[in-house]
Structure 1
Amino acid sequence: MLVKRSVTGSLAKALVGIVILSVLSTGLALTTVADSLRDAEAVNIAGSLRMQSYRLAFELTNGSSELNEHLAQYQQSLLAPALLKLDRFYVPADVRQKYLVLRQSWLALEKQIQESPPEDYQANVANYVNQIDHFVLALQRYSERKLTIVAAISVMGYIAIIALVLFCIRFMRHQVVTPLKRLVDASLRMQQRDFNHPPLDVSLPNELGVLSQTFTVMSGELAKLYQSLEQKVQEKTERLQQANRTLEVLYSCSQALSAGQLDQRAFEQVLGIVRTSEKLQCIRLNVQDSLSQWQFGIGDPRPELPWHSLIITQDDKPQGSLSWQHENHPPHPHLMQSVANMLSRGVYFNRAQKEHMQFLLMEERATIARELHDSLAQALTFLRIQLTLLKRTVAGSSQQATEIIDDFDRALGDAYRQLRELLATFRLSIQDADLNAALQQMLEPLKLLTSARIQLHCRLASQALNAQQQVHALQIVREAVLNAIKHANAQEIVIRCQASPTGNNEITICDDGSGIESLDEPEGHYGLTIMNERAVRLGGMLLIKRGDAGGTEVCLTFPP
């Protein structure tokens, strides 16, 4: 069925008609009012002509010296713009005629003032003033007529607009409201599963007729499909409930992994959510590093229950596994796969966060090293040069001055050497977040400083340390290895990183050198003090002692 007479089109035409009538009535009224803006001025000027006429008669009799001035003023008033605009086609003929007669009469009177005796002007001025009165009266009636026209135009426009509005209301009631009410009643019946609604008016030539016909056809089709849909609804409901539960679990897991810092607590929270949702006996996450693994779980495993696992991969490379035990109903496979994928991304972001934080720390330390090099190192170099010049200058002087200069030289040399060591410490650059790889990278330049064999045995998971902990641990290991190289004459240095039986992180550096004589540092040396301060920053403890078979053993223990 085609739409023959659109509701929107009919309403649009009516509204356009209303707008046109409004514009016309308002425009005509505004035009008339605009034309009346200077009517009051014209009446006022015309009225003043009477007074000026009598004043000229008085001055003419007394021979006043202001006669010519007032005569020019009268001429200016008679030809004022407010009066000149009366000479237009839409101005009534009697107004134009009276104004024209008034101007012509004035020409004769003006000639009498200038050429004839005063008695001639005084004899004609009363007749002239009478003409002015008639002209003023005509102006007044003309102004009143325009106001009447404005009122008439407004009333006619309002009547026409009200008529169109009543037509629109009647049209909407018959063509829109009644059919819509029937459609609403039919839809409410269909909502109550009653498809035998009263027949709709399908003969309307507008959109509602098309809608009524389509609605009637649709209700018939729905009545046929309702039975089959009821059977499928139950199946879909069960699937949707399962999908909703899966989405809720995934959303909760995603929220847990959206924390600012991904650590063991976040991963344990994810495992706890999955275990509670799927009613698992136990669930574990194993993350494999290069030489170690990071493992934690939720729940108590039972030996009689089998383990089920999913491999966690990143870029087609295995990163670990997700394992679980269930007693009754197995978990949804798609859910467990999705959780495994989320944990894989979480492990990746954990490493990425650690690399980023480590990079920021290294960048900050490099900045400090540059500032020290550009300021303090340059100053110490300048002082050493100045001290050398001073030695040459005071050569052969008193022995006391020479001893003071020598002491100052030694102190300056110690300060310069300590600054160089500090710069080397600050310039330590580690780019890898994996603890084993970072240790290997840090030890490479140290192996070039000694013939001793340096061994590394790392069984500590990288995820057990955050970026700051890893940087402090690397600095302690570096300082301990440097001490073994410089002071112990060691031939073998062994670094072991592992988890202690109590669950803490433990890093041990052993050498076979001469062994440390005392824990009291010489004056001007601060290596051991800095190592202890770093251990405190880690929340742990640093133990330095002589080994059982000789050498020195440095043991760092701190919580994960």
Structure 2
Amino acid sequence: MIFRRSLVKRTAVVVGAIILTAVVSMATTLAVSRSIEGNATAINRAGALRMAAFELLAHSAGHDEDASEPFEAQLAGYDRKLHQAPLTQTLPSAGNHPLRQQYEQMLMRWQQALRPALEDHALGTPVSASLLQATEQYVAEVDQLVTMLEQRTEARIDLLHVIQIISLVFSILIAVALFLDLRNHVLQPMRKLVRIAAAVGDKDFTWKANLSGSDELSRLGRAFDQMTDELAQSYGALESEAAAKTRELERSHQALELLHSASRTLFATHDLCNGAVPMLQELEVLLGIGPIRLYLHDKQASEPVEAITTSTPERPFYCRDHHCNACLVTPEVYDELPSEGNDGRRLLLPIRTPGQLLGTLEVWYPADRGLSETARRLLETLSDQLATAIFLEKQITEEQQLTLAEERAVIARELHDSLAQSLSYLKMQVARLRRLDIQGEHERTHADILDELSTGLNSAYRQLRELLTTFRLKLDTPDLYTALRQTVDEFSDRLGQLVDLDYNLPVNTLSPNEEIHILQIVREALANAIKHADATLVRVEVHFESPRVAVRILDNGKGLPGGEQPFQHYGLIIIQDRARTLGGKVSVANREDGGVEVSMGFIPKSRHTILTREANAG
């Protein structure tokens, strides 16, 4: 049953039978040939013994005294011939074998009858009847041995012929059986399978093999029949699949156009939120994904911070435009989006430039549909575009900071070389006038005029020093927080008390010019608090109260006289001018628990990459 089920096994059995037949035939032939090896020599030697026996009889009757060899030596030589190897080696070793018994009987006839008769016969005398009879009887024994050797050899040869005939017949039967099996179970099924393959090539799936049996070709035929059925079904579905691929290509084309237009928007506006969110939302609709979030990496922050998102139920902390609701969705819509708890999967794509990791793009997609390779490649292209936009924006910011610092340094140098020297000269002239001895009715008027000139010059000189400090001030620190931290430490040393700093402002929310103005406002307010307020506790707060930036400097000093903002105070005038430059307003008022609060708020006008970082220092 097993051989009927396996064509390979049947073929192996047939090949094995042929090989076995050949091996058996060759082995038996070899054994038979080896068994009759030396028989011809033994027959010849046995036949020679008959002739030698008659020669001995003749020598004993006609003895010649001048013979080259004595008669006794001839007897000994004949005895050696009886025991020579070519004769004894062909005899069976078994003692009960007829051939061995005949040989032993021949030896006994020689040793007990013929040889003693030859030895007793007088040399040169006529042969007696008894000697002749003994010789004939011995020769008869030798003839019997030769006959038995010949019969044994002929029997072995006949056996060899039978073995060859059996091997030949068996080989023919195996070959016929193999041919019939190949014709019925290989050639005919193969023709059917070839016809089916040709029909499938012509898109004709109606041909069937209909092979019965359980061997390999029968199973292959049933597999072909199943394949043609499945091909007929799948070929019918090719049209719909091609249409689906066409729709996918159209979506990819639309997504590429969207990426192209978005890249122009990003590089034109330099604003990720306004430039990327609408594009990402359209991309979500096209690819059936979302939400998409962008996290940016900052070396000053321990964790990546969220920069933009396409779907959120609450306004993000970093949002500066409260009139924009592009990323806001209802809680019901948000709950339906893919997430860890809603059968969704997340794809993280790095946003990087050579040698620098700028951020990570997080894309959620439905777990049941997966993400196609086309969509993945489009998202990788998007991450490359975002990396370029963020990198260029950082470069622009650094160039703006450098340009602003260079311009202010030039102005400071010009003020120092021109106006500062002129004021110094006027102060020296006033000092000279004070040393003049002027008496009379104009003495008092002269002194008042000198006091006013001195006060005005001192005020102008102080203003000039503040301007020089302002213009020479630059942000050579990684960010505004670090610059404020250094400023707070500086004024803490001057006050003799720790100045607190509470900072909660998104990094890069401000332009370089806005950062400079905030730093200068804080410095001026701290200088006033230390110089005029006699404060022992000063606190600086810089908060992002979306969408505004709020700056507060609080102290526990003696407060403002009369509770009102001083009129024409130089430091406050500088703060107000800077606040107006930023588009904000300054408020200076006494605190309820004592001291003064200087507050200023404004909405940043710059459009920059937004990162969120909180830094609180006490």
TM-score (norm 2): 0.47
Matched, 1:342 2:390: no
Hey, what's the Cα distance between the residues in 1 that align with 2:596 and 2:359? 37
Deviations 1:468-488 (A, max 9, x none): 322222222222222222222
Alignment of 1:135-214 (within 5 A): none
Give the drift of 1:320.
4.2
Hey, what's the Cα distance between the residues in 2 that align with 1:274 and 1:326? 12
Q: 2:335 matched to which residue of 1?
A: 303
Residue type at the aligned position of 1:352: Q
Residue type at the aligned position of 1:251: H
Hey, what's the Cα distance between the residues in 2 that align with 1:309 and 1:521? 59
Give the drift of 1:345.
3.4
The alpha-carbon distance between structure 1 residues 508 and 344, as it changes in their structure 2 partners (threshold 3 A), is farther
The alpha-carbon distance between structure 1 residues 339 and 457, as it changes in their structure 2 partners (threshold 3 A), is farther
The alpha-carbon distance between structure 1 residues 433 and 246, as it changes in their structure 2 partners (threshold 3 A), is farther
Q: 1:534 matched to which residue of 2?
A: 578
Give the drift of 1:372.
1.5
Matched, 1:425 2:470: yes
Give the drift of 1:433.
6.0
Give SS of 1:515's match: coil
Give the drift of 1:425.
1.6
Hey, what's the Cα distance between the residues in 2 that align with 1:434 and 1:412? 37
Q: 1:322 matched to which residue of 2?
A: 361
The alpha-carbon distance between structure 1 residues 395 and 452, as it changes in their structure 2 partners (threshold 3 A), is farther
The alpha-carbon distance between structure 1 residues 253 and 363, as it changes in their structure 2 partners (threshold 3 A), is same
The alpha-carbon distance between structure 1 residues 458 and 318, as it changes in their structure 2 partners (threshold 3 A), is farther
Deviations 1:42-65 (A, max 9, x none): xxxxxxxxxxxxxxxxxxxxxxxx
Residue type at the aligned position of 2:409: A
Given that residues 288 and 294 in structure 1 are in contact (C-alpha distance below 8 angstroms), is that contact kept between their aligned partners in structure 2? no
Hey, what's the Cα distance between the residues in 1 that align with 2:444 and 2:484? 51
Deviations 1:62-83 (A, max 9, x none): xxxxxxxxxxxxxxxxxxxxxx
User: Which of residues 423, 433, 438 is equivalent to 1:390?
Assistant: 433
Give SS of 1:259's match: helix
Higher mean Cα deviation, 378-387 or 441-450? 441-450
Give the drift of 1:461.
0.9
Q: 1:552 matched to which residue of 2?
A: 596
Hey, what's the Cα distance between the residues in 1 that align with 2:537 and 2:306? 29
Q: 1:72 matched to which residue of 2?
A: none
Give SS of 2:257's match: helix
Hey, what's the Cα distance between the residues in 2 that align with 1:316 and 1:404? 68
Q: 1:271 matched to which residue of 2?
A: 280
The alpha-carbon distance between structure 1 residues 513 and 347, as it changes in their structure 2 partners (threshold 3 A), is farther
The alpha-carbon distance between structure 1 residues 319 and 261, as it changes in their structure 2 partners (threshold 3 A), is closer
Give the drift of 1:519.
4.5
Give SS of 2:554's match: strand
Given that residues 288 and 320 in structure 1 are in contact (C-alpha distance below 8 angstroms), is that contact kept between their aligned partners in structure 2? yes
The alpha-carbon distance between structure 1 residues 485 and 389, as it changes in their structure 2 partners (threshold 3 A), is same
Give the drift of 1:271.
3.1
Hey, what's the Cα distance between the residues in 1 that align with 2:370 and 2:462? 69
Q: 1:365 matched to which residue of 2?
A: 408
Given that residues 409 and 471 in structure 2 are in contact (C-alpha distance below 8 angstroms), is that contact kept between their aligned partners in structure 1? yes
Given that residues 430 and 441 in structure 1 are in contact (C-alpha distance below 8 angstroms), is that contact kept between their aligned partners in structure 2? no
Given that residues 541 and 551 in structure 2 are in contact (C-alpha distance below 8 angstroms), is that contact kept between their aligned partners in structure 1? yes
The alpha-carbon distance between structure 1 residues 505 and 404, as it changes in their structure 2 partners (threshold 3 A), is closer
Consecutive unaligned residues of structure 1, counting only runs of 5 or more, are 1-229
Give the drift of 1:244.
4.5
Give the drift of 1:421.
1.6
Hey, what's the Cα distance between the residues in 2 that align with 1:294 and 1:433? 20
Give SS of 1:505's match: strand
Matched, 1:482 2:527: yes
Hey, what's the Cα distance between the residues in 1 that align with 2:455 and 2:600? 34
Q: 1:282 matched to which residue of 2?
A: 291
Given that residues 259 and 279 in structure 2 are in contact (C-alpha distance below 8 angstroms), is that contact kept between their aligned partners in structure 1? no
Given that residues 516 and 545 in structure 1 are in contact (C-alpha distance below 8 angstroms), is that contact kept between their aligned partners in structure 2? yes
Give SS of 1:323's match: strand
Aligned length: 329
Given that residues 430 and 442 in structure 1 are in contact (C-alpha distance below 8 angstroms), is that contact kept between their aligned partners in structure 2? no
TM-score (norm 1): 0.51
Given that residues 560 and 566 in structure 2 are in contact (C-alpha distance below 8 angstroms), is that contact kept between their aligned partners in structure 1? no
- Alignment RMSD, CA only? 3.5
Q: 2:548 matched to which residue of 1?
A: 504
Give the drift of 1:306.
0.6
Deviations 1:136-183 (A, max 9, x none): xxxxxxxxxxxxxxxxxxxxxxxxxxxxxxxxxxxxxxxxxxxxxxxx
Hey, what's the Cα distance between the residues in 2 that align with 1:519 and 1:426? 30
Hey, what's the Cα distance between the residues in 1 that align with 2:452 and 2:547? 51
The alpha-carbon distance between structure 1 residues 269 and 235, as it changes in their structure 2 partners (threshold 3 A), is closer
Structure number with greater Rg is: 2
Hey, what's the Cα distance between the residues in 1 that align with 2:306 and 2:525? 27
Give the drift of 1:381.
0.3
Q: 2:507 matched to which residue of 1?
A: 462
Alignment of 1:245-264 (within 5 A): 247-259=256-268, 261-262=270-271, 264=273
Given that residues 504 and 542 in structure 2 are in contact (C-alpha distance below 8 angstroms), is that contact kept between their aligned partners in structure 1? yes
The alpha-carbon distance between structure 1 residues 456 and 521, as it changes in their structure 2 partners (threshold 3 A), is same
The alpha-carbon distance between structure 1 residues 520 and 509, as it changes in their structure 2 partners (threshold 3 A), is closer
Residue type at the aligned position of 2:590: R
Consecutive unaligned residues of structure 2, counting only runs of 5 or more, are 1-237, 312-328, 341-345, 605-618
Give SS of 2:494's match: coil
Hey, what's the Cα distance between the residues in 2 that align with 1:309 and 1:489? 58
Hey, what's the Cα distance between the residues in 1 that align with 2:468 and 2:284? 51
Higher mean Cα deviation, 443-452 or 479-488? 443-452
The alpha-carbon distance between structure 1 residues 544 and 275, as it changes in their structure 2 partners (threshold 3 A), is farther
The alpha-carbon distance between structure 1 residues 313 and 547, as it changes in their structure 2 partners (threshold 3 A), is farther
Hey, what's the Cα distance between the residues in 2 that align with 1:472 and 1:303? 43
Hey, what's the Cα distance between the residues in 1 that align with 2:434 and 2:521? 40
